[in-house]
Amino acid sequence: MTGANQAEDWAIVLPTRARCVIRSAPTTVLGVPEPERSDRYRLPVGFRTLRRLGLVACALVGLVLPASTTGGAQTGSYTGLGDSYAAGPVVPTQQPTPIGCLKSDHNYVHLVATALATPFRDATCSGAKTDHMTTPQNVDGGPNPPQFDSLDASTTLVTVTIGGNDIGFTEIARSCFTGDPNSHPCQDRYVVGGVDEISNRIAAAAPKVATVLQGIHTRAPDARVFLVSYLSILPEVGNGCWPQLPFAYADVPYLRAKEQELNNMLATQAAANGAAVVDAHVGSIGHDACTAPGVRWVEPVPATALAAPLHPNALGMECVAQLVLAQVDPGNAFAQGLCRPPVAQPVMSVPRFTG
């Protein structure tokens, strides 16, 4: 749920063999061969304190995906809306439209469009809040236009993931990170005098999400609308996996409950405003950031794949696309090839030297 307009900092550390480059804006994009699938989720990505956005560009050759359209009416078209959980920050290949949106051409929007073989617009942008549906979002290389500009009367399918930045996802994560697993800084910060600030923020975001869904129906009255919830970051049970996720043991159940509360709010607003829910949270249980590479759909801190920390990796994007397609187009043949973990490479045995 990242974004340049939120003064966040991604310190990306990439191996030289990946031939990726990091630049402050303006960013230089280099074309390089795509690594084997078994490497795709394992390239290490470092994470620093979130302060000021740095941009990563790593142009990799992947699936041939249809290009999203940039304007004009479309017949039977699909539009993807949302924040970084839809955009795919750092996941290859990052798109320059604008570069500050940190949007991948292998995010779930692109993959769904590929499966449906339909014209589409990917309006997603990392850091987006509900008000960026109707107002420009200031990002490097931008601004990104209001996301609702990508809707019109010919739009027949809309997906949206939104609300996390309205409650302050990045600030919450930063405030809850700790070097002491036996402390509880998160609850100390957000639960004071019996008042839960995060719960209050979730409640305040509910009418904003409702307004987004109503606005979609107004601009695209014939569209089927699917609200895609947030993936599970933390294990469904237990006290987490500090320091892989640097949340204190006592804070993990609290944070898990807050994410569930956010997703429950989204489901309630969807039901009240004519949208179906794609429950990515339930679908991703067992694939949280504490699980192993090739199993997890969300990256830990630091990330070990080309993806932002605490965000979906390439496998996660494939699996969310499969969840969307299961509701949008059951039995879709392309979907059957998605959400497969990387193939492990055989380990070569080296003869022991005996002299």
Active-site residue numbers?
Answer: 84, 311
The two counts, helices (H) then strands (E), for the chain are 9, 13
Cα–Cα distance, 198 to 323 (Å, whole number): 28
Quick one: DSSP state of residue 259?
H
Cα–Cα distance, 84 to 116 (Å, whole number): 22
In sequence order, the 6+-apart residues with CB closer than 8 A to the CB of 241 are 235, 289, 290, 300
What is the dihedral angle through the alpha carbons of 165, 168, 169, 173, rounded to the nearest 10 degrees?
Answer: 160
Going by C-alpha positions, the residue among 203, 206, 267, 258 that lies closest to residue 234 is 258
Cα–Cα distance, 321 to 324 (Å, whole number): 5
Q: How many CB atoms lie within 10 A of CB 83?
A: 30
> Rounded to the nearest 10 degrees, what angle do helices 169-176 and 251-272 cross at?
170
Cis bond upstream, residue 33 (ω within 30):
no
Quick one: DSSP state of residue 45?
B
